[in-house]
Amino acid sequence: MIQCPRGTRDFLPDDMEKRRFYENKLRHTAQTFGFREIETPIFEDAELFILRSGPNVLNELYAFKDKGDRELALRPEMTAPSIRMFVNSMSNDPKPIKIFYFGQCFRYERPQSGRYREFFQFGAELIGSATPETDAEVICLAAAMIKNFGIENYKVHIGHIGVLREAIANAGVPKERTAEVLQKLDKKLYDEARPLLESMNVASNVIDEIFTLTETVGGTEVLSKVPGDAGDYLRQVTDCMHAMGVDNYDIDLGVVRGLDYYTGMVFEVEAPALGAEKQICGGGSYTLSELFGGEKVFSTGFAIGFDRILLAMEKEGHVYEPKGIDAYVLSVTDDMRLKAAEIVSMLRREDISADIDIMGRKMQKAMKYASSVRSKYAVIVGAKEMEEESVTLRDMTSGEQSVVKISELCSKIKG
């Protein structure tokens, strides 16, 4: 028996109903913030992702050559394709540009709980503005999405990459090696970061100060420890968030987001229900368009791990109940089958989800099937009732049934 590839999944009908329901919650929330949906190709030039993340990303890519000998890759994330699209097609549009996306991504890594080689990412980008209001808008959008999912226990962690960059630069770390250090600090790999910094002749007490900086977490009082413009900027961001009704956050100078293109505010959202691997969202302000041939444009964005957020909901005890269909139509005798077909078609024209017995089942088995597909009603088409232009309508939850005129059937089911 052939199985689906490691790190991928099949989604059965109940799974897809649940996923589409929550996808559309994300879409609706983004649209209420004035964001509009885009879609980009599922594969791109491999160079796009190398420019964004560096050559080491090749170890994670599903990369291949096409028949024209072009180096392509399945997308491992969707920020780079979105900014590539902006440079290609939207750079002259009025700013700011507010876009969102949802799609499959692919990374060759070890599958684990909530992490797959084929995964689904929702993200949003606000392009063309570098203000505290921009950053607050994006953080508040992410928080609104998580709240609208019903997740009760989550926390937004807000930092500023400039603080750590400055501390590392002052410690004497060469600019070309900053990203290497930040990636260790991003994952809190202090045992690996220390010898790395020591190899660059950074003093032990300075290393301790850098590590302490990454562990500085608290409320707005922490901002007094943030030197220079970064502290003032974050204060404006959090003031704006407060005005928008979002106060569930910490200032966390350990939020690093190790990629080079982040420039200022960075943030992550954690759901403690997930245990050690608790991050469900991450983002920040960045510049990326100049890498892809465009002019330098400031942006703020984030990505939500869709599978991770569904897992967090499950861990918190949220249960999605599949909706089923509105009506299941069955005929009592074979000579009523065409009438049943007419009735199911009438229901569908009125935007009522309806199915019909096409297996020729006896009444008991047909009713059992109606229950298995979670039909709200069974519409029983019998010869005696049809003489009065009526059918029997059975409520599948209560078991109550009544004879209903066909002309009133749609309104009865909708009501």
Asked if 300 and 176 sit in the same domain, the reply is: yes
CA angle 231, 236, 240 (to 5 degrees): 145
Residue tagged 């991770």 (tokens): 308
Asked if 302 and 348 sit in the same domain, the reply is: no
- The CATH number linked to 236 is 3.30.930.10
What residue type is assigned to position 271 of the chain?
A
Per-residue pLDDT band for 37 (boundaries 50, 70, 90) equals very high
Averaged pLDDT, 181-191: 83
Q: How far is the C-alpha of 253 from the C-alpha of 273, rounded, in Å?
A: 23
40 in Cβ contact with 73 (< 8 Å): no
Is the predicted pLDDT of residue 258 greater than 70, yes or no?
no
Per-residue pLDDT band for 259 (boundaries 50, 70, 90) equals low
Q: Of 315, 346, 374, which marks where a domain is finished? A: 315
Q: Of 285, 315, 345, which marks where a domain is finished? A: 315
Q: Looking at the domain assignment, is residue 4 inside a domain?
A: no
Is the predicted pLDDT of residue 355 greater than 90, yes or no?
yes
Averaged pLDDT, 27-53: 94
**Dihedral sign for Cα atoms in the order 268, 91, 36, 292:** negative
Lookup: tokens for 50: 């190398």
Residue 341 CA, distance from chain mean position? 41
Asked if 270 and 354 sit in the same domain, the reply is: no
Asked if 274 and 167 sit in the same domain, the reply is: yes
Q: What percent of the chain has pLDDT over 90?
A: 72
263 in Cβ contact with 163 (< 8 Å): no
- Between residues 263 and 62, which one has the greater pLDDT? 62
Q: Looking at the domain assignment, is residue 185 inside a domain?
A: yes
Asked if 361 and 240 sit in the same domain, the reply is: no
Is the predicted pLDDT of residue 268 greater than 80, yes or no?
yes
Is the predicted pLDDT of residue 311 greater than 80, yes or no?
yes
Lookup: tokens for 307: 């599978």
Domain that holds residue 140: 13-315
Q: How far is the C-alpha of 363 from the C-alpha of 390, rounded, in Å?
A: 18
Q: Looking at the domain assignment, is residue 1 inside a domain?
A: no
Asked if 398 and 258 sit in the same domain, the reply is: no
Asked if 79 and 52 sit in the same domain, the reply is: yes
**CB neighbour class for 168 (10 Å; exposed up to 12, middle 13-18, buried from 19):** buried
Asked if 307 and 341 sit in the same domain, the reply is: no
- The CATH number linked to 355 is 3.40.50.800
Is the predicted pLDDT of residue 319 greater than 80, yes or no?
yes
Averaged pLDDT, 88-104: 96
Per-residue pLDDT band for 62 (boundaries 50, 70, 90) equals very high
- Between residues 157 and 207, which one has the greater pLDDT? 157
DSSP result, 292-321: GTS---EEEEEEEEHHHHHHHHHHTT----
For the question of whether the overall pTM of this predicted structure is more than 0.75, the answer is: yes
- Between residues 262 and 301, which one has the greater pLDDT? 301
Asked if 303 and 342 sit in the same domain, the reply is: no
Per-residue pLDDT band for 277 (boundaries 50, 70, 90) equals confident
* Cα→Cα distances 6→2, 9, 76, 245, 409, Å: 12, 8, 16, 43, 49
CA angle 73, 77, 81 (to 5 degrees): 75
Asked if 125 and 157 sit in the same domain, the reply is: yes
The helix (H) or strand (E) run that includes residue 363 is helix 363-372
Helices (H), 100-160: 132-148
pLDDT of residue 256: 78
Q: Looking at the domain assignment, is residue 3 inside a domain?
A: no
Closest among 160, 161, 168 to 197, alpha carbons compared: 168
Q: How many domains does the chain have?
A: 2
What residue type is assigned to position 108 of the chain?
Y
Asked if 291 and 371 sit in the same domain, the reply is: no
Q: Looking at the domain assignment, is residue 278 inside a domain?
A: yes
* Cα→Cα distances 119→74, 110, 368, Å: 12, 13, 36
Is the predicted pLDDT of residue 111 greater than 90, yes or no?
no
Give Rg (Cα) of the chain: 28
Is the predicted pLDDT of residue 16 greater than 70, yes or no?
yes
pLDDT of residue 257: 67
Q: Of 264, 286, 315, which marks where a domain is finished? A: 315
Asked if 310 and 332 sit in the same domain, the reply is: no
